[in-house]
Structure 1
Amino acid sequence: MNEKIEVKPRKALEVMKPYSPGKPIWEVQSEYGLQHVIKLASNENPLGPSPKAIEAIQIALKDLHRYPDNQSQLLKKTIADYYDLHADQVIVTNGGDELITLVAEAFLDAGDEIIVPGPTFSEYEFGAQLMGAKTIVVPLNDAFQYDAEAIVAAVTDRTKIIYLCSPNNPTGTYVAQKDLKYILDTIPKRIMVMLDTAYSHYVSEELYSDGMEFVRAGYPLIVLKTFSKIYGLAGIRVGYGAAPQKIIQSILQVKEPFNVNALAQTAAASAIGDEEHVLRSQALVAKERERMYASFDQLGIKYTQSMTNFVLAELGPESESIYMRLMAKGIIVRHGKTWGLPLHLRISIGMPEENDQFIAALSEILGSV
Structure 2
Amino acid sequence: MHGGRTPEDAIDFSISINPYKPEWIDDVFERAEKLSSRYVYWEHLEQKLSELVKNDVSVTAGATEAIYLIGIHFLRELESVVIPKPTYSEYERIARFFGCRVVEVPLSNLESIGDRLSSSSAIFFCNPNNPTGRYYSPKELKPLVDAVEDSRSIMFLDEAFMDFVEGYRSVDSENVVKIRTFTKSYGLPGIRVGYVINFEEVKEYRMPWSIGSVGYAFLEKLIEDKFSFLKQSMPKIWREKRKFESKLGVKGDANFFLMYMPGAVEFLKSKGIYVRDCSSFGLDGHIRFSIRLPEENDLLIKNLIEVMG
The TM-score, its normalising length taken from structure 2, stands at 0.91
- Segments of 5+ residues of structure 2 without an aligned counterpart are none
Give the drift of 1:22. Answer: 2.9
Structure 1 residue 274: deviation in Å? Answer: 4.7
Q: Distance in 2 between matches of 1:41 and 1:180?
A: 28
Do the aligned residues in 2 keep the contact of 1:92 with 1:239 (CA within 8 Å)?
yes
Distance 2:151 2:37 in 1: 45
Q: Deviations for 1:168-220, whole angstroms, at most 9, x for unmatched residues?
A: 11001122202333333333464221111111111125xx5223xx26xxx12
Q: Which amino acid aligns with 1:184?
A: V
Q: Deviations over 1:217-264 (max 9, x none)?
A: xx1221111111112221111111111xxx322x22322222111221
Alignment of 1:253 with 2:234, yes or no, is no
Cα distance in 2 for residues equivalent to 1:133 and 1:349: 36
**Residues of 2 paired with 1:322 and 1:133: CA distance?**
36
Distance 2:4 2:265 in 1: 12
Residue aligning to 1:311: 257
Cα separation, 2, equivalents of 1:255 and 1:23: 25
Does the 8 A contact of 2:118 with 2:152 survive in 1? no
What's the secondary structure of 2:96's corresponding residue? helix
Residue 137 (structure 1) aligned to one of 94, 104, 125: 104
Q: Structure 2 matches for 1:125-274, cutoff 5 A? A: 125-141=92-108, 147-156=109-118, 158-159=120-121, 161-187=122-148, 188=150, 190-205=152-167, 208-211=168-171, 214=172, 219-243=174-198, 247-249=199-201, 251-272=202-223, 273-274=225-226
User: What is the CA RMSD across the aligned residues, in angstroms?
Assistant: 2.1
| Alignment pair present for 1:43 and 2:16 | yes
Deviation, 1:112, is: 1.4
Question: Which string of whole-angstrom CA distances, capped at 9 and with x for unpartnered residues, describes residues 121-162 of structure 1?
Answer: 111111111111111122122xxxxx4422212214531x21
What is the percentage of aligned positions where both structures have the same residue?
A: 30
Cα displacement (A) at 1:166: 0.4
Contact 2:62–2:181, Cα closer than 8 Å, also in 1: yes
Deviation for aligned residue 1:96: 0.6
Q: CA separation of 1:23/1:52 partners in 2, compared to 1, >3 Å: closer, same or farther?
A: closer
Distance 1:24 1:60 in 2: 25
Alpha-carbon distance, 1:346 to partner = 0.4
Residue aligned with 1:204, SS = coil
Shift of 1:39: 0.5
Letter in structure 2 aligned against 1:252: K
Q: Deviations over 1:8-28 (max 9, x none)?
A: xxxxxxxxxxxx5235332xx
* Residues in 1 aligned to 2:307 and 2:147: alpha-carbon distance in whole angstroms: 49
Question: What is the aligned residue count?
Answer: 307
Measured against aligned partners, the alpha-carbon deviations of 1:270-298 in whole angstroms (never above 9, x if no partner) come to 2253544212321121111111112213x
Q: TM-score, normalised by structure 1?
A: 0.77
Please say which of residues 51-60 and 89-98 is displaced more in the overlay.
Answer: 51-60
